[in-house]
Amino acid sequence: MKVEQIYTKCLSQGSYYIESNKEVAIIDPLREVDIYIAKAKSSNSKIKYIFETHIHADFISGHLNLAKKSGAQIVYGPETETDFENINAKDYEEFKIGDITIVAIHTPGHTVESTTYLLRDSSGKDHAIFTGDTLFLGDVGRPDLSQKSSLSNSDLASMLFDSLRNKIMTLDDDVIIYPGHGEGSSCGKDLSSDTVGTLGDQKKTNYALRENMSKEEFINEVIDGLLEPPKYFPANVSLNKKGYLGSEEILEKSINPLSPDEIEEEFKNSTVLDVRNHDDFSKSHIPGSIFIGLDGRFAPWVGEILEDITQQLILVTPEGREEETVLRLSRVGFDNILGYLEGGIESWVSSGKDTVHIKNINANDFLKLNSESDIKVLDVRSKKENSQSKVENSFNIPLISLKDEIEGINTNSNLYVYCKGGYRSMIACSILKFNNKDNIVNILGGFDSISSNQGI
């Protein structure tokens, strides 16, 4: 028996490859599925089943691509409605993979169809559970993403309490937990950075599994502090239920080199997305472009900032990373890509077209200025980060909320912007500039550098 976690840091998402006696099961695959096919081919095995823990909202699953290429059957839990053929597993229905068994345990709460898959080894012993977004390490799935309008958040939280207490917590403490997400995911509030754990450890450390917790307490604590879900989530649910293009088709229609003149012509109908390093963007970029760098949590931030997956995008990328950019955008359903700037920002400059830049200040100079003058300082970290420590006299608007609150921001004088390390603050600066908010200054290195210079 072989169990392998394939973890994608950009999405904070875990998919799983399970193999036994030349048969394979895949759980919650990425949209680019060649990695699973290659693994099965290397051991001369056949992919038999593709198990989906639920209809995902935060990314596009590879279930349809993989079924088409491998001939495997797609399995969901009870009460799943899709536009394509799949097996709707009954509660506790068993599926054989070589010498092992996978049991579909219906665990509604995150969504009504959410299902946990229990892996029993060749001797029949409970070995591991693949919990999707039902149970994370340190947290549980948020109960406000159901597509059934008749169910309230409290209704779903109540279901989740029952699923955890009656179906998951009854398993042995040594059962391994393989969750759907880790730290950084918007599908929970406070996920651990660990991506594998045991049920026994979670019973001791996960607030939602504590002993003698009443259902009312659980509902209140799970719902408390939930932020509004990202606006791109419903569109991803729709694609996962109805279907989408394969990765090869996306690349074929998207990898189009565009000249500066062509981009200028299409500018009014498109969003120019610059995915280079934040330092490079700061030095020189196309006026009106939005920065979201490839080397951060790229795809989720694209979804949260741009929101509408149907909008037409023009890309400014580091040389040689055009395909990577397109594929990573496709993970969250942004498939409408006109092309990319051929020759990068250098070709834009050499064609004589205007560029703009973002002013920067290092942490030491900022601290000196802040101690001597009455300046405006914007913290774009999360409310939780801000509550733990912050720059004196700063005000907090989390990056995810910036677009909604931007009209109330005054930039008649310099506005100094910081996050933790400099990635989110540059996204924020690009959004502010896009909305004609000038006099923006980015604090290099963010709060990490500020704290270091203060000796905190």
Q: Spell out the domains of the chain, with CATH numbers in brackets.
A: 2-233 (3.60.15.10), 245-350 (3.40.250.10), 359-454 (3.40.250.10)
- Residue 57 confidence (pLDDT): 95
- Tokens 């101690």, located at residue: 371
CB atoms within 10 A of CB 29: 25
Q: Which helix (H) or strand (E) holds 216?
A: helix 215-223
In 288-411 the beta strands, taken as DSSP E runs, fall at 290-291, 313-316, 337-341, 359-361, 376-379, 395-396
Give the distance from CA 352 to its chain's centroid. 38
SS3 of 88-116: the string is: ECCCCEEEEECCEEEEEEECCCCCCCCEE
**Measured CA distances, 181 to 66, 132, 228, 336, 433 (Å):** 21, 7, 18, 27, 33
Q: Is 214 exposed, middle or buried (0-12, 13-18, 19+ CB in 10 A)?
A: exposed
- Residue 148 confidence (pLDDT): 67
Residue 424 Rama label (left phi>0; alpha psi -120 to 50; beta)? alpha
Dihedral, CA of residue 344, residue 350, residue 353 and residue 359, to nearest 10: 70
State which residues of the chain have pLDDT below 50.
Answer: 456
- Residue 296 confidence (pLDDT): 85
**Measured CA distances, 395 to 21, 232, 235, 238, 439 (Å):** 59, 27, 32, 37, 17
Distance CA 167, CA 27 (A): 20
253-305 pLDDT, tens per residue? 999 999 999 999 999 999 999 999 999 999 999 999 999 999 989 999 999 99
- Residue 94 confidence (pLDDT): 98
In whole angstroms, how large is the CA radius of gyration of the chain? 24
How wide is the angle at C-alpha 237 spanned by C-alphas 298 and 292, nearest 5°? Answer: 15
- Residue 229 confidence (pLDDT): 87
